[in-house]
Amino acid sequence: MGAVEIKDKVYWVGAVDWDIRDFHGYSTYKGTTYNAYLAVDEKIALFDTVKSNMKEELLYHLREITDPERIDYIVINHVEMDHTGCLPEIIDLVKPEKIFCSPMGEKVLKSHFHREDWPLQVVRSGDTISLGQKTVRFLETKMLHWPDSMFSYIPEDKLLISSDAFGQHIASTERFVDEIDLGEVIRHAAKYYANILNLYSRNVQKLLATVGELKLDIDMIAPDHGLIWRHNPGDILTAYDHWSKGETREKVLIIYDSMWKSTAKMARAIGGAISRQGVDVKMFNLAVNHRSDIMTEVMDARALIFGSPTLNNGLLPRMADFLCYLKGLRPTGKLGASFGSFGWSGEAVKLMNTAIEEMKMELVDPGFRVKNVPTEDDFARCKTLGETIAQAVKAEA
């Protein structure tokens, strides 16, 4: 791709991963980038590295700017392996004078790489280092999204290097948001937030407040994935403020899987009844929708309705998968209900209701199950359930 100067003597030197389609359970159908940045001053500092299989691309970009052995400092904003996979080889080559990391970063680096000889120097929120004309100020961002996470801020350039925060999984030849469609970038940033950061929304609110209190002058946000917010950092800061408030609207997701279409027919009947009450409904058949795409829609939905037939005294596997994923991302303030068909034992609705309670969602209705194929009476019950859900959603407004 080529190194790109993003600020005076600050360069993007990362790698573009066009091929990745699954990022630990997150569907990255647009690929991603692993962004690393090089600040060239009296001291040369490399901010983050890349995944192990992308090392050559990082080195190629570094060599466009300087001999890697001239790098003095490496800053590790986040230890997850998509940013440190090649770190041992880079350190062996660069032999940095210092490696800066957060207090938790030191522990996490040691438990990942088991190296006691690296010149780690712990930095805390508010600590600064000088590169010459430029300074770097650190801000710990614990649990956004790992305990070690931190930001690096260069005030002279009004540049915030934000690690995973404000990122998106998009592979592109362009490096800046304003070079491609803003709406598309925001959609991918929303998906990223929903799947990576949503469960830490309280921390996001605190972080945004801290950034405001510190009066950091920021005109560029450079995340570790995707496009750089060059002229419009306010767009993504505003979006994060909105998403982290967890506000919902009159919107219901019906998330279901079906064996022989009975549960699917129930889903459509329930969805139709909700829609006729003027409430937005989105249908997600788990056979054709990826869990990580559904999560984006979960963010502003007020109710999540689950449908599954019973298979071998349990749930259909895709519903079990989805509920496991959803539970881990800890949705808050949602209403829930369940439905499904069965042949002889019929445990699925009870299991989904248990999951709803475990996630501390409010069970709107205990739901119901249909034996084998729904009758007209069963469709009437679906209509009633849909109307009950719609009323509950409106009452929450």
Cα separation, 291 vs 179, in Å, equals 29
Q: Which of 7, 43, 83, 137 binds ligand FEO (CB under 6 A)?
A: 83
82 is catalytic: yes
Which residue, 108 or 237, has its beta carbon nearer to ligand FEO? 108
Cα separation, 328 vs 322, in Å, equals 10
Cα separation, 397 vs 395, in Å, equals 6
257 is catalytic: no
78 is catalytic: yes
Tokens (6 digits) for 218 = 């920021």
- Considering only the stretches 57-65, 80-88, 171-179, 206-214, report the one whose residues sit in contact with ligand FEO under the rule CB under 6 A: 80-88
Tokens (6 digits) for 155 = 């005030």
145 is catalytic: yes
Count the neighbouring beta carbons within 10 Å of the beta carbon of residue 31.
17
Tokens (6 digits) for 115 = 């190296």
365 is catalytic: no
Give the x/- contact pattern for ligand FEO in 185-224, rule: CB under 6 A: ---------------------------------------x
Pairing mode, if any, of strands 301-307 and 249-256? parallel
Which residue, 26 or 306, has its beta carbon nearer to ligand FEO? 26
| Distance in Å, CB of 150 to ligand FEO, minimum | 12
83 is catalytic: no
Sign of the C-alpha dihedral computed for residues 374, 380, 385 and 389 taken in this order = positive
Active-site position among 61, 78, 83, 188? 78
Does 43 bind ligand FEO (CB under 6 A)? Our answer is no
Which residue, 7 or 225, has its beta carbon nearer to ligand FEO? 225
| Residue 120 · residue 99 · CB < 8 Å | yes
Count the neighbouring beta carbons within 10 Å of the beta carbon of residue 128.
11
Question: What DSSP string runs through 240-266?
Answer: HHHHHTT--EEEEEEEE--SSSHHHHH
Give the distance from CA 380 to its chain's centroid.
40
169 is catalytic: no
Does 82 bind ligand FEO (CB under 6 A)? Our answer is yes
Q: How many residues bind ligand FEO, per CB under 6 A?
A: 9
How far CA 9 is from CA of 42, 65, 229, 289, 383, in Å, comes to 11, 9, 18, 44, 63
Cα separation, 353 vs 368, in Å, equals 10
Which residue, 139 or 349, has its beta carbon nearer to ligand FEO? 139
- Considering only the stretches 5-13, 79-87, 200-208, 358-366, report the one whose residues sit in contact with ligand FEO under the rule CB under 6 A: 79-87
Q: Which of 57, 157, 164, 297 binds ligand FEO (CB under 6 A)?
A: 164
61 is catalytic: no
Q: Which of 51, 55, 78, 142 binds ligand FEO (CB under 6 A)?
A: 78
| Distance in Å, CB of 327 to ligand FEO, minimum | 20
Active-site position among 11, 192, 193, 240? 192
Considering only CA atoms, which of 284, 289, 281, 237 is closest in space to residue 264? 284
**Hey, which residues are catalytic here?**
24, 78, 80, 82, 145, 164, 192, 225
Tell me which residues touch ligand FEO (CB under 6 A). Answer: 78, 80, 82-83, 145-146, 164, 224-225
